[in-house]
Amino acid sequence: MVCSLISLDWLLNIPFPKGAIAGWIALSVYAGIFPGVWCVLNGTAGEGGNWGQRQRFALMCALSWVGLELARSHLLGGFPVNLLGVSQYRNVPLIQISSITGVYGVSFLVVWFSASLLNVLRALKQERAYRGLMGEIAIQLLVMLGTSIWGMGRVRNAPAPDRFVKLSMVQPAIPQELIFEPGEGTNRFEQLLRLSEKGLESDSQCLIWPEAAMPPWSSENYKALTNFIALKKVSMVLGCDDAEPETIEGKTQYKYYNAAFLFNEKGQHAGSYRKKRLVIFGEYVPMLKWLSFLRYLTPIESSYEAGEKSVSFPIPGSDARCSVLICFEDFFPHGGPEAVFPETDFLLNLTNDGWFKEGMMQWQHAINGLFRAVENGVPLVRSTNNGLTCWIDAYGRIREVFKDERGSVYGVGVFNVDLPIVSSVKRAETFYHRHGDWFGMGAALITALATVRLWRDSRKANRESSEN
């Protein structure tokens, strides 16, 4: 819990103090439950045992950690932020195992190796001799070495790109308070157009605006934007709210969505994607019908609806396609295979990290997201409100990051990228993309069985104790 209080302190930057503090504490307590359960499951297992028992202890530590991480990624909508394997993002050869197991495989290796080091200390304490200590960790060393060599080969044998797509990403760095200010819509829109004009001087094929950059649609804004696109002859992807009318008891109401829109080079609407995974208390309030007081812990006035399906956008004039992930959707390992179609050339994350001002959230978000590139074998392009606007290759390497004239990743500007594209013929589908969370599910099943066994053993011990 303390670890989460430190690593998630960016939640305190949300411009809504009551909700920020409540969310920070609640999420930290919730995240702390899982390693707490892990400690209960493993306890003092392996202590005082022989070599085989110590090896089973290390293996069970790793499998149960992965099982609990998978649970955290799914329960209550999922909170897969800062999974343990993410800590290894700089170790490019090692993280290639994610293309088979997902990020959970990296978490497994970290825990397995760490528990084996504990076994070395236990063996020293128990045997009081150095002889045979290498046997406590030999298997783990060989697996680590083999995984790294294989990963290095995977990176070195990367296929050469067939073509490039020119992208211009606008980073407006709009303070979150202004996004909620109705009177600032015109100023925001004019700033976006000025920045876009500057970015398109490089003959880009696609202009990109991040999540929440576009003010609410009006007929004037829509006409101005589509005329701008048609005049510049450039396709465009942007984040904006979407709405759909529905009639209930003779009254017309609207369902709202956090969405991404595609426009072709003629200024015509060519596609939409509605965000599937919503942020609790940021985009919807749970159980509001029964717990109405919860609305006072969030700045939102009404909840969004969740979208139903992933979408692949063709980039007109570029022979490339992207699949969009909005906001924290790129935190979810199981969200990548859903979004990446056979024709998808790259993932595009539109996000507004301006909620958290300038801090570590922007970096954590990018680092968590880079594993979706490795898992699915396609680059990840990130278009953000205030950092990190960047692109990450299919092997998890952050290749280019936007910085303003001051060298800050949080500033205002335009990021032009020539994104290399590898054809689907040359790009082999990753095992993880094909089979999903087979590794994590297996670990979760073993964890569940171990939990049932522990519960039964505990009941048996209590019964025997009471009889005595």
The DSSP-derived string for 148-191 is HHHHHHHHHTPPPPSEEEEEEEEE----HHHHT-GGGHHHHHHH
Dihedral sign, CA of 235, 197, 240, 249? Answer: negative
| Contact between residue 168 and residue 199 where contact means Cβ atoms under 8 Å apart | yes
Among residues 85, 162, 43, 12, the alpha carbon closest in space to that of 375 is found at 85
Q: Which of 327, 375, 390, 403 is catalytic?
A: 327
Instruction: Give me the residue label for tokens 């044998």.
Output: 157
Neighbour order of strands in the sheet with 398-401: 312-315, 320-326, 346-351, 380-384, 390-392, 398-401
3-class DSSP assignment, residue 119: helix
Strands (E) in 282-437, as ranges, are 312-315, 320-326, 346-351, 380-384, 390-392, 398-401, 413-421
Q: Which of 61, 69, 166, 211 is catalytic?
A: 211
Among residues 59, 60, 55, the alpha carbon closest in space to that of 40 is found at 60
Query: Is 223 a residue of the active site?
Result: no
User: How far is residue 214's CA from residue 336's CA, in Å, rounded to a whole number?
Assistant: 26
Cα 247 to chain centroid distance, Å, stands at 36
Instruction: Give me the residue label for tokens 């290390």.
Output: 58
Q: Which of 166, 275, 276, 403 is catalytic?
A: 275
| Contact between residue 336 and residue 86 where contact means Cβ atoms under 8 Å apart | no
Query: Is 275 a residue of the active site?
Result: yes
Strands 235-248 and 206-209: parallel
Query: Is 327 a residue of the active site?
Result: yes
Is residue 21 packed enough to be buried (19+ CB in 10 Å), middle (13-18) or exposed (0-12)? Answer: middle
Which residues is 242 bridged to in the sheet?
Answer: 257
Task: Please list the active-site residues.
Answer: 211, 275, 327
